[in-house]
Structure formats: C-alpha cells, structure tokens
Amino acid sequence: MSVFPPIRRDRVIAQLPQCFRKEAALHSKEDFNNKVKTACQEQRTGTVGRFKISKVIVVGDLAVGKTCLINRFCKDTFDKNYKATIGVDFEMERFEVLGFVSRSQLDTAGQERFKCIASTYYRGAQVVIIAFDLTDVASLDHTRQWLEDALKENDPTGVQLFIVGTKKDLSSPAQYAQIEQDALKIAQEMSAEYWAVSSLTGENVKEFFFRVASLAFEMNVLAELEKSGSRQIGDVVRINSNSSNLYNTSKKKQSSCCQ
C-alpha cells in the first residue's frame, strides 16, 4: 500500500504537452517516444515511477520572478510584494505520466547566498530552467553566464535546458516581439527550449511545467532502457529444465575424451 496520497487530478499527463515555439524546442514531436510508450505499456520503466526524482533547478538574475513562477504552479498563488529568497527554497511535485508516477523537485536559490552553495545547488540537476525578465534585455543577455555556471557541475548531454521569459503581462506587444526574437536565437545556440509565461495571470505556467515533467520522464525512461539493454549483453545464459543435465553430459564427454 502506497504511503503517498493519490496523484491530483490536475497533475495527470496522458499525452505529450506541445512546445511553445517549434523554432526553439527540445524536440517538436507531437507524442512521446515510441520506446517510452511501449516500456510503459509493458511495465518496463525500471526505477522511474518508483524511486526516481528529477531535480529541476531554476536560476536567473535577481527579481526576474523565479519564486513567483514556482509558487504559481505549485500553490496557484501570486504575491505581488517581492521578497528575495534567502538560501534555497524547493517544492516537490508529483505527476502521473502515461500511468506512472513522476516526481520533480523544483529548486530555486537566493541571490545573496548563492555563490557559497552554487556547486551543491547545481550538481545532479536533470533540468535547468534559466529565467529572464521579458521587460529587461540585460537579464536575457545574462542567461549565457547562468548556463555556463550550471554546466560546470553537470554533463551537458544529461541536462535538459529551458529558457523562460517571465512577466509576459508587463511586456507590450512590440517589446515582446523584439525580445522574443533575441530569446529564440539564444535558445537555439544553447540547444534549449524557449517559453514565455506570466506568473501574475498564470499564462502558460501549467503548460510549461507539464512539458518539463513530461520530457524529464521521457529522458529517464530512455536512460533506464539503455541501462537494461547494456546489462543484457553480459547476462548469464539461463538454462531451462530441458537442459538440466547439460552439465553432466558435458562431464561425461570430457571423461570419455580423456580415456
């Protein structure tokens, strides 16, 4: 019997959530990888869905809205009175993806004490979300440095990257159109996926985190399949009951040979 409560109905993911812009997406397929779907149908997901927790970190300049973004999704709240995060704050979210439980730990760190904990904070991240303010071009320029810092502690091939523009509600159409062009170019350079959200109105927030959870789940299942495939190469050959006397037969042959 599970000690965890049932998955919330609004955290059930049956189909792959679509990307925000195809020009900058980790992949533009409209469905989960066929290998992943087959593994889920055959209950071959390994530790995924039982013990695996995806570490998701949110980084970015001071006051771009990292905590507001997490709170809007996890608590469906928005606090307009800005308070800087002190230390590290995190939320644990549980999803149901293709019938399996997927756990994500969403972390964000305060700017004031970030430097002394940076290596520990970054290490082991499977998803890196770099947030920038859609009304502040400088915060977009700084995403490259945030990426560089994050990859010092992680294997680039094992990390999924997202660039997220926040405060979409505060950006005029003309201003947004210009900064989005620049954001798409940077996302393509980084091999990251681009999104634009508003924590105030909730626009695209749920869709974004569903996308993050789904792609992390898919990556984890594919990694498990790769591990199981490599283990099969060195597996000991199983002998069925019909071959139970194989050892004795080979021993007799060896004895007759030596006579």
- Tell me: pLDDT of 6 over 80: yes
Higher pLDDT, 155 or 194: 194
Looking at residue 245, its pLDDT comes to 45
Contact 107, 85 (CB under 8 A): no
- Tell me: pLDDT of 1 over 50: no
Looking at residue 87, its pLDDT comes to 56
Residues paired with residue 133 on neighbouring β-strands, in sequence order: 166
Looking at residue 194, its pLDDT comes to 98
Neighbouring CB atoms inside 10 A of 114's CB total 17
Topology of domain 12-17+30-225, CATH: Rossmann fold (3.40.50)
Mean pLDDT of 139-143: 97
Q: List all residues 6 or more positions away from 29 whose beta carbon is below 8 Å from its beta carbon.
A: 16
Q: Could you read off the pLDDT of 112-121 as tens digits, one per residue?
A: 556 666 778 8
- Tell me: pLDDT of 236 over 80: no
Q: List all residues 6 or more positions away from 84 whose beta carbon is below 8 Å from its beta carbon.
A: 62, 63, 110, 111, 112
* pLDDT band per the 50, 70, 90 thresholds, residue 242: very low
- Tell me: pLDDT of 189 over 90: yes
Tokens of 136: 């502040």
Looking at residue 36, its pLDDT comes to 94
* pLDDT band per the 50, 70, 90 thresholds, residue 50: low
Looking at residue 255, its pLDDT comes to 46
Mean pLDDT of 47-72: 88
